[in-house]
Structure 1
């Protein structure tokens, strides 16, 4: 199989291979199917308070989000902006929007007013779900836009604000929920607009179809044991956004939810040891600090099998240090994770330091 290049559009494409589902199969079809198979299985745990959520609790919550969003007029193809920390509520909202057919557009809390205005002026969200402390910045950024929107707060710090938690109110119709059939097939139906990391310039909006995720998930190895995933990335990044979906699509995964805040190296060590984390996504800067920490050998990190690190330069020194400390663990380095979903390399397979091996690029499936 060979990659091809469209010189007119200036687009590289991997080889096309058959899509493993029918084109009317969407993400939420498989999500609800998987959640129904093991209703009592623990799906997610928030590391700050050890609050565990079962598959059935998750299913009911995402259905309520979809139904309550529909009640306020959100419909297929509407955009829902979100600037929020990782949480159970954020996961419910993301999956509820996907079920309804709305498009999720996450932004980073650290973005300035110009960037927020620039993205949202293009995507024109009907509602924007924010952390309480971000709301003034969003209001200032959008004070002159030519579209209407409503802001919902992720917390209850101001009684006058609309609350995102209201989307979890019982509807008394959860058992009768039916997934809507969308107008477009899976390879055309967009469910999210993510911004690139900005590594190579200004952040760009990237659209994701249902087929792009389901194709990738179909390639994941089937395991008979429970994998425990962990990421310190915010929802804005692909490594922080997609675990909210992939963990629900995989039947043997437990996700540890690390709420965005000042990261403590000690907490990461403690979490790996406490929860038996098998796969972690960690930024290069944070990974460098972890590998330099003098306490790294004081913790039992044997459960960890792989670490994904990207979003900025992953130096040769960092890769070599990882291999030195963790010779039995795999390090994956994604490049263009948001733009091409997903291209990764294993550092120990590098033939030349700055070469690109097209054989390692993920095949495109449509």
Structure 2
């Protein structure tokens, strides 16, 4: 079977190029205008089902709710330079808020509900939203964090004294012949502001434009598809799911609960889900779930994952349960606002994140900025040809991640093979050295993942002034497994000839790895927990 790639390589400049972009919708239309008109085309189709709140909305109902929200914003005099804050779960009316913003050409800034008050205060102080939509259970935290902003706070549920309820907003009259706003800055205008997924320090406010490349990973969706993603609106996957569902008139299943493998499998079966996007840690939890082997996943046509490494054993376990070759890894980063690479050839290219999507270019650089050719490891740099407003209010950090020729420096290390498929080695900042020999955590994670009884693993370096970074591991064992920490150390020693990759720092068995709010493994926090446990012992 031929590889699914249309990338070409310029050997002189050492640049890979994906296929040319094409426009299905008129190029001058904003994301909001497209969704507005598509909702009107399919009014009686079910737009959204909440599995936890037991609500069902047709596209006509969601469209009307979105116009009510947009009309409320207009009644307050909000303009396209204003910002709306969102810090909410995937509840029934949160997406009417998003589409209402789109219809008005007003960007929203979305934060995760798990953020501490101090983080909320610092992030919203950057963008200074005039309206903030949140759940009632977070109202006091949000109110205290934003008391200097004089913002109106609307609660989505569990309404609190002093807040405005979403029901009041939805009662706002809609003007006759309501039309979505034309963008004052065209499609370069900011659509949304998300948070960087960094594991240290305060996340940055990342602007996302009205770029069509946001649809790169979902352009084969139809009205017959059923989408399901647990990602909230502060993650790119949550934004992409919301946009693609609006553009392609799919049925979307939502849940305001955190990931639970049994519930996840039940939702796929019950609603005959065809499109999912997950993080690798959730894949490992699914495979480690006793119900996994009996679950019916045959409805799925697109099983996408990204945001970190996933063991080949877990990938293959998922692939074996899917009806078609529809296990697709995607490579993306928030600043690009979209997926830039997707693997449509898992059976031929396992462990590759895939080939370039439409309109994307890529090069691989040494630390000195020298371009590298196929099969040479360096920092991955991406060009998407799109305007980027940068980190909101932070031009210095913006220039550090994108140069004057509009290339993004991802901080990821990897290489392109001879067929134009990208392989990610590790984060540049995660590179370790033991006795001056360089190695990467994922190399040891791949070894440990082959050990019977291992469900998940996170490897990190423990600094020693004499030898450098001693590799250490935190391991989640499979249900029923009896493995001990020393078994892991011995397994690596017996299956890895390179002594510098042995677990000189030791190992611990944990119930779960420490994760970021979107489910990604937080390597720094897991390492800190390892150090704490060892210090206590």
Q: TM-score w.r.t. structure 1 length?
A: 0.84
Larger RCO (alpha carbons 8 Å, 6+ apart): 1
Partner of 1:298 in structure 2?
294
The structure 2 residue matched to 1:240, chosen from 238, 241, 266, is 238
Aligned match for 2:61, one of 35, 57, 61: 57
SS at match of 1:295: helix
| Match 1:163 to one of 157, 162, 165 | 165
* Partner residue in 1 for 2:282: 286
Match runs of 1:1-366 below 5 Å: 17=21, 21-22=25-26, 24-143=28-147, 145=148, 147-171=149-173, 173-186=174-187, 188-198=188-198, 203-212=203-212, 216=216, 220-221=219-220, 223=222, 226-251=224-249, 253-259=250-256, 261-326=257-322, 328-340=324-336, 341-346=338-343, 348=346, 359=356, 363=360, 364=384
Greater alpha carbon shift after TM alignment, 124-133 vs 102-111: 124-133
Number of residue pairs aligned between Structure 1 and Structure 2: 352
Given that 2:107 and 2:192 are in contact with CA atoms closer than 8 Å, whether structure 1 keeps it comes out as: yes
Once the two structures are superposed, residues 247-295 of structure 1 have per-residue CA deviations (whole angstroms, 9 ceiling, x without a partner) of 01103x1111122x24332221211111110111222222211112122
Q: Give the direction of change, closer, same or farther, for the CA distance of 1:283–1:214 in structure 2 (3 Å limit).
A: closer
Give distance in 1, aligned partners of 2:190 and 2:103. Answer: 12
The worse-fitting range, judged by mean Cα deviation, of 24-33 and 202-211 is 202-211
Q: Give, in whole Å, the separation in 1 of the partners of 2:275 and 2:26.
A: 30
Unaligned runs of 5+ in 2: 1-6, 11-15, 361-383, 387-537
Question: Can you give the 5+ residue segments of structure 1 that lack an aligned partner in the other structure?
Answer: 5-11
Q: SS at the partner of 1:311?
A: coil
Which protein is richer in strand relative to its size?
2
* Structure-2 change in CA distance of 1:193 and 1:49 (3 Å): closer
Secondary structure (helix, strand or coil) at the match of 2:252 reads strand
CA RMSD of aligned residues (A): 3.1
Secondary structure in 1 matching 2:290: coil
Residues 17-71 of structure 1 show CA distances to partners (whole Å, capped at 9, x for unaligned) of: 5655555311222212111112111111111244221111111111111011111
Mapped to 2, the partners of 1:262 and 1:359 lie a distance apart of 32
- The secondary structure found in structure 2 opposite 1:240 is helix
Residue 141 of structure 1 and its aligned partner are, at CA, apart by 3.2
Q: Distance in 1 between matches of 2:220 and 2:31?
A: 18
- What are the Cα deviations for residues 75-119 of structure 1, in whole angstroms up to 9, with x where unaligned? 212111100011231000000011111111110011123332332
Structure with the greater alpha carbon radius of gyration: 2
In the alignment, is the contact (CA less than 8 A) between 1:3 and 1:14 conserved in 2? no
Cα distance in structure 2, aligned partners of 1:126 and 1:91: 18
Task: Name the stretch that deviates more: 51-60 or 292-301.
Answer: 292-301
Say if 2:38 and 2:247, in contact at 8 Å, map to a contact too: yes
Offset of residue 324 of structure 1: 4.0
> CA 1:362/1:45 → structure 2, altered by over 3 Å: closer, same or farther?
farther
The corresponding residue for 1:7 is: none
More helix per residue: 1
Q: 1:349–1:86: structure 2 CA closer, same or farther, 3 Å change rule?
A: same
Bigger Cα displacement from structure 2, 29-38 vs 330-339 = 330-339
